[in-house]
């Protein structure tokens, strides 16, 4: 659960055309309050949904329950998909590295400053 990135891709005809300015681009969603504290004062705005009997081997994060919010944005209404991958990878130089990922995808509506927007998002 190292770096996380999220990007909105609105579902509007205007958004499909190249934009000359940001005035037609919807505002980015706001992150959920709270989250997982990786180190003192370092919080990422995600929860780890899943069976609490599972502890991820490299980060040591324990999944937080099946009723835990998978979305990373607040005021969201839509579909979410979450996948945790654990294993090892071999680099082109022959070295082996541990791999642990948290990948999520969202599609739906979100509200910012009272206005409803639609978008698709990914967290890697």
- Mean pLDDT, contiguous 10-residue spans, the chain (124 residues): 44 49 80 89 92 94 93 94 94 95 95 94 90
pLDDT at 24: 75
- For residue 21, being part of any structural domain is answered with no
pLDDT at 36: 87
pTM above 0.75, yes or no: no
Query: 50 near 64, Cβ under 8 Å?
Result: yes
Look at residues 36, 4, 9, 20 and name the one whose alpha carbon lies nearest to residue 110: 9
Q: Phi, psi (5° rounding) for residue 55?
A: -115, 125
Q: 59: which 2 tokens?
A: 């980060």
- For residue 66, being part of any structural domain is answered with yes
- Expressed as residue numbers, the domain containing 80 is 9-13+30-123
pLDDT at 18: 53
- For residue 22, being part of any structural domain is answered with no
pLDDT at 23: 67
User: Residue 16 is inside which H or E element, if any?
Assistant: helix 13-16
- For residue 91, being part of any structural domain is answered with yes
Q: Classify strands 96-112 and 76-90 as parallel, antiparallel or unpaired.
A: antiparallel
Count of CB atoms situated within 10 Å of the CB of 90: 9
Q: Total structural domains in the chain? A: 1
pLDDT at 20: 52
């Amino acid at each position: 659960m190292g770096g996380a990135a999220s990007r909105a891709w609105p579902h509007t005809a205007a958004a499909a055309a190249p934009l000359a300015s940001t005035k037609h681009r919807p505002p980015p969603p706001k992150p959920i309050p709270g989250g997982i504290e990786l180190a003192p004062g370092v919080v990422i705005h995600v929860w780890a949904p899943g069976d609490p009997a599972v502890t991820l081997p490299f980060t040591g994060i324990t999944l937080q329950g099946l009723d835990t919010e998978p979305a990373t944005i607040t005021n969201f209404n839509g579909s979410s998909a979450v996948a945790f991958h654990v294993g090892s990878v071999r680099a082109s130089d022959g070295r082996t590295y541990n791999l642990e990922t948290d990948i999520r995808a969202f599609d739906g509506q979100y509200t910012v400053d009272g206005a409803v927007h639609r978008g698709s998002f990914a967290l890697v």
